[in-house]
Chain A
Amino acid sequence: GDSVTQKQGQVTLSEDDFLFINCTYSTTTYPTLFWYVQYPGQGPQLLLKVTTANNKGISRGFEATYDKGTTSFHLQKASVQESDSAVYFCALVERNMGYKLTFGTGTSLLVDP
């Protein structure tokens, strides 16, 4: 089964709205967790990385917290801008999975000006 789940396929917001993108994972150990962002016509690029050592990542106004209890790694931003429009992927790497990066299906964010 899927080890990374993003239930929201598409999110549409207005500028200055609060962003919340859901991500849950299913693994047997404690993985390293990532959020990647993909702008149109480009490859994905790293937004955040969180390990069991630091538990929380913050970058460019985005933040995500590693919650081992609920096995979640939701992405949040207090106030989105039109330039944040992109596809966001949750991903994980786990030793028991051969350290292969496993992606969620992605959430497409559209921010209206």
Chain B
Amino acid sequence: EAAVTQSPRSKVAVTGGKVTLSCHQTNNHDYMYWYRQDTGHGLRLIHYSYVADSTEKGDIPDGYKASRPSQENFSLILELASLSQTAVYFCASSGTPDAEQFFGPGTRLTVL
């Protein structure tokens, strides 16, 4: 059973629309992360959280919001989707910040 799941697995959105990506983990981990992956850039951290009801900005937070309503769930919100946000998004969890991160299968987002 996958410990980190993401939904949807793929999404086509229109420019200016709102997009919500969801992540659920059963690892009982405190830390959760959202990354985006683009060819040539590896994975870049958007937002992360180390406790429910609190989120922190990562390296590229502009244009994104995050929500952590519970230990298990972490959402990424694009209020006004733009073409430049077309990418694959990964969620991950870890028990401590320097421990192994467990990644979900990713969500492919296409903004048209």
Q: Which residues of A contact B (CB under 8 A)?
A: 9, 32, 34, 41-46, 49, 89, 93, 99-106
Q: Which residues of A contact B59 (CB under 8 A)?
A: 100, 102
User: Is the pair A43, B90 in contact by a Cβ cutoff of 8 Å?
Assistant: yes
With A43-B106, A49-B100, A100-B48 as given contacts, are A106 and B42 in contact (CB-CB < 8 Å)?
yes
Question: Which residues from chain A contact B4 at a C-beta distance below 8 Å?
Answer: 43
Q: Please state if B45 and A89 are interface contacts (CB–CB under 8 Å).
A: no
Binding site for A on B (CB under 8 A): 4, 33, 40-45, 48, 58-59, 90, 92, 97-98, 100-106
Q: Contacting B100 at CB < 8 Å: which of A43, A46, A100? A: A46
Q: Once the chains are docked, how many angstroms separate the CA of A43 from the CA of B104?
A: 6
Pair A105/B41 contact, Cβ less than 8 Å: yes
Minimum C-beta distance from A97 to chain B (A): 10
Residue of B at shortest CB range from A32? B98
Contact for B45 among A43, A100, A106, CB less than 8 A:
A100
**Residue among A42, A44, A46, A89 with max Cβ neighbours from chain B (10 Å):** A44
Cβ-defined contact, A43 with B103, below 8 A: yes
**Docked pose: A32 CA to B100 CA in angstroms:** 11
When distances are taken between beta carbons in the complex, the residues of chain B under 8 Å from A45 are 102-103
Considering the complex, give the chain A residue whose CB is closest to the CB of B4.
A43
CB <8 Å contact, A103 and B58: no
Scoring B33, B58, B98 by chain A CB atoms within 10 A of each residue's CB, the highest score goes to B98
